[in-house]
Amino acid sequence: MDTSSTPTHEPILSIRDLKTYFYTYEGVVKALEATSFDIWKGETFGLIGETGCGKSVTALSTMRLIPQPPGKILSGQILFNGTDLLQAPEKTMQAIRGCAISMIFQEPMTALNPVYTIGSQIAEVILLHQDMPEIPQPKTINPLTRHKIKKARTKRAFEKAIEALDMVKISDPQKVAYQYPHELSGGMRQRAMIAMMLSCSPDLLIADEPTTALDVTVQAQILDLMKDLQRRKGTAIWLITHNLGVIAEMCDRVGVMYAGYIVEIGKTEKIFENPDHPYTRGLLRSIPQIMEDRRRLEIIPGNVPNLITPPEGCRFHPRCPYATAVCSTAAPPLVEVEPDHCVACHNYATAKYAVAGVKENHGPATD
C-alpha cells in the first residue's frame, strides 16, 4: 500500500446490529439480521459476497434509501460522526447524502438523469450542499437581486462542476459538461458519477459494484482513479463487490457477507492468507485464479438459501462440511482469531486443521 493518508483506527461509520426486513407477497425476506462492522477514517473497506447476501441492502440502509414499503429497518444503530443515522430526521439525512456520505452505483446510465447535461447534474449537487462564500447572500428581499444572485451561484456551480470533471481525468471537461449521459461511454459516465459524488469532498464514499458493468481495462482505470482520489482527499471508501480480485487490489480491510450476516472480517492480507470461515475458504478456492495452473475448481455444494425461510442458527450450516449440532441452533458470534481478523463460526478451529473435504465435482443442483 502506498497511500500517504494511512487509515487511522478511528471509526467514521459504526454499524451495530442492523436488522432490515422486506415484507413481500411471498413472505418476509429477512435480509439483514444482526449486521455489525466499522469503517475507519480514510481506509478502503471492502464488502464482498454473492448475489442476495445483503451487501447492497446494508449500504442502502446506511443511507436510509430503503423503500419503506416493502422494506423496513427494524432495529440497530448506525453511528456517523456521532449521529445515529437511523434516528436522524429526514432533513439531516438529506444534508448528509451527497455531502458527507456519497454513493455511486453499478449502472451509471440509470443513475444519471438522461434529460439533463452532465454539468448541470453535478452543479445541482454542488448547489445543494456548498455555500459559495464568494457570492454574498442578500439581506434584502429584492426579487431582482435574488435572481441575480441565483444566476451567479448557478454559474459558479457549473464552473466547479467542470473542475470536478477535470479532477476525474476526463479529457476536455468543458465539452463533456455540456453533453448528455447517453453521449458518453460507460467508463466516462462512471467517472462523471464519481465526479458528482466527490464534488463535495465527502468523508465516506460508498461504491456499490462500481466497475461490474465495465470492461476490464476501463475497470482498471476507474479503480486507479478511485485510489488516487482517496489519496488526495482522504475519503474513506466502502467498496461493495463480488470480485475478489478487486478486493485484493483495493481494500485495506474486508468483510465477507453471507445470507445477511458478516461471516468474516479483518485485514485483507489476513483474510486471503488464512481464511477461517468455510464459506470464505470455498469462495477463494472456486476462482479460476489467473496464476494457478489448470485443475478442477472446488465448489461449495448447494445453493444460497431463501431468505424468507433461512436456515436456523448459522445460515451457512446446510452447505458446510464442518457443521455440527450447535450450528443448526445458534447463530455464531464474531470472535477475534488474531488481531484484525474476526470470524463468525462455531467450528473455525477444527475446520482450520481438517483436510479440505470440499467436493470436487460439479455437484447436483439441489434447490
Task: Work out how close the CB of 139 gets to other proteins at its nearest, in angstroms, rounded to a whole number.
Answer: 50
Instruction: Determine if 248 is a binding residue for other proteins (CB under 8 A).
Output: yes
Interactions with other proteins, residue window 184-213 (CB under 8 A): 185, 187-188
Q: Does 175 help bind other proteins (rule: CB under 8 A)?
A: no
Task: Return the residues of window 97-156 that contact other proteins according to CB under 8 A.
Answer: none
Among 102, 268, 280, 347, interactor with other proteins by CB under 8 A: 268
Tell me which stretch binds other proteins (CB under 8 A): 117-125, 136-144, 180-188, 193-201.
180-188
Rg (CA), the chain: 23
Give the relative orientation of helices 186-198 and 118-129 as an angle to the nearest 10 degrees.
Answer: 20
| Paired residues of 239 in beta bridges | 46, 207
Cell (9 digits) for 263: 461471516
Residues 45-84 that bind other proteins (CB under 8 A): 50-51
Q: Is 65 helix (H, G, I), strand (E, B) or coil?
A: coil
Of 136 and 245, nearer to other proteins (C-beta) is 245
Q: Helices (DSSP H) in 321-361: which residue ranges?
A: 348-353
Helix boundaries (H) for the chain: 55-62, 90-96, 108-111, 118-129, 143-167, 173-177, 186-198, 216-233, 244-250, 268-273, 278-285, 348-353
Closest CA to 334 of 49, 16, 79: 16
220 binds other proteins (CB under 8 A): yes
Read off the C-alpha cell for 72.
423496513
Interacting span for other proteins (CB under 8 A) from 9-17, 89-97, 133-141, 267-275: 267-275
Stretch that binds other proteins, among 115-123, 124-132, 144-152, 181-189 (CB under 8 A): 181-189
**CA atoms lying within 13 Å on the CB side of residue 230:** 28
Which residues 13-42 are close enough to bind other proteins by CB under 8 A? Answer: 24-25
| Smaller CB separation from other proteins, 131 or 292 | 292
> Which residues in this chain contact other proteins in the complex, by CB under 8 A?
1, 24-25, 50-51, 185, 187-188, 215-221, 223-224, 242-250, 268-269, 272, 282-284, 286-291, 294, 296-300, 303-304, 360-365
